[in-house]
């Protein structure tokens, strides 16, 4: 089994990366392979609402000049996905948001590429805004019918300068418990796959309020 984690920070070794690595350590202890992808350093445009992905049905965004399509395929092949972001103005970092908007829209219009994968979100913050950031990240997970593990508190770690989250004892424990629970959930779902068949996907009903 494999988990791919997306680091929305431009800092390769910042507190978002430290948070993800703490989760990764528990996954790796359980024999699960991990891979970190640093989204924050890339030049990723936002979704242009061109709907080419709806028309083409090729599991790809029409904007092919950045790594987003490569990342979509990594997510499709993974058993678990972790979304991590620093907190910018009490929200998700812009590059990460652009990536997620495009990747999850492609997934949703191509049969639900991430459906029933295990997904979790984490945020690194100096002081405030961690909860709205995790909540926003969770919107993508919930919309995609992914399965979400929990921890013993909200998935937020504190620190300003790179590495300072290591001093946040509670934040470290939150990430450790999240990794342990994520590994357990992934193995439970894998074990139950043959005994309890997954429900079939349904055709989405779209109701617009402007007629």
Its pTM stands at 0.96
Distance CA 196, CA 192 (A): 6
Distance CA 83, CA 145 (A): 15
Which of 121, 49, 38 minimizes the C-alpha distance to 74?
38
pLDDT grade, residue 190 (50/70/90)? very high
Domain ranges of the chain: 2-192
**Are the C-beta atoms of residues 122 and 70 closer than 8 Å to each other?**
no
Distance CA 128, CA 66 (A): 31
> pLDDT (tens digit, 9 = 90+) per residue, 6-31?
999 999 999 999 999 999 999 999 99
Distance CA 160, CA 87 (A): 11
What per-residue confidence (pLDDT) applies to 183?
98
Which of 16, 25, 2 minimizes the C-alpha distance to 74?
2
pLDDT, average across residues 160-187: 98
Class of domain 2-192: alpha beta
The chain-wide mean pLDDT, for the chain, equals 97
> pLDDT (tens digit, 9 = 90+) per residue, 72-127?
999 999 999 999 999 999 999 999 999 999 999 999 999 999 999 999 999 999 99
Radius of gyration of the chain (CA): 17
What per-residue confidence (pLDDT) applies to 211?
72
């Amino acid at each position: 089994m494999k988990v791919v984690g997306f680091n929305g920070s431009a800092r390769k070794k910042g507190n978002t990366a430290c948070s993800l690595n703490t989760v990764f350590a528990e996954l790796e202890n359980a024999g699960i392979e991990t891979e970190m992808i640093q989204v924050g350093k890339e030049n990723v445009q936002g979704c242009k609402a061109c709907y080419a992905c709806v028309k083409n049905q090729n599991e790809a965004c029409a904007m092919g000049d950045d790594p987003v399509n490569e990342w979509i395929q990594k997510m499709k092949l993974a058993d678990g996905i972790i979304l991590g972001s620093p907190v910018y103005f009490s929200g998700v970092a812009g590059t990460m948001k652009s990536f997620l908007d495009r990747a999850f829209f492609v997934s949703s219009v191509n049969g639900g590429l991430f459906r029933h994968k295990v997904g979790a979100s984490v945020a690194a913050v100096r002081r405030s805004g961690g909860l709205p950031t995790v909540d926003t990240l969770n919107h993508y997970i919930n919309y995609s019918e992914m399965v979400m593990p929990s921890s013993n508190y909200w998935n937020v770690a504190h620190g300003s300068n790179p590495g300072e989250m290591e001093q946040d004892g509670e934040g470290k424990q939150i990430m450790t418990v999240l990794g342990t629970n994520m590994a357990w959930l992934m193995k439970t779902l894998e074990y139950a796959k043959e005994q309890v068949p997954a429900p079939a996907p349904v055709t989405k009903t779209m109701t617009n309020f402007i007629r």
